[in-house]
Structure 1
């Protein structure tokens, strides 16, 4: 469920993003019962690799 939401968010962002998306130029935040956190650059890189 969360994985799908992250993939969908990145794919949606990619549609209007100019240039190449990397872990250095995007941030992904997650908000749930435990609170808010940002994905680490390594986590973002892994998600980007999965949709490439």
Structure 2
């Protein structure tokens, strides 16, 4: 599974059980790879959220 697909699936899963409006300021998404852990910026989260509407 590609990274974009995995993040998209994670956001869809979160959305199913999230109460209220989900936006880039009230969720955090982290990615772990060979380089370590990093949290997506609010702008990156906003882009992923825009793709599921």
TM tier relative to shorter chain? over 0.9
Q: Helix, strand or coil: the match of 2:21?
A: coil
Residue 40 in 1 paired to residue 45 in 2? no
Higher helix share: 1
Moved over 4 A (4+): none
Offset of residue 15 of structure 1: 0.1
1:2-50: CA deviation from partner (whole Å, max 9, x where unpaired)? 0000000000000000001000000000000011000000000000001
Normalization by structure 2: what TM-score?
0.96
Q: Pairwise CA RMSD of aligned residues?
A: 0.3
Q: Where in structure 2 are there 5+ consecutive unaligned residues?
A: none
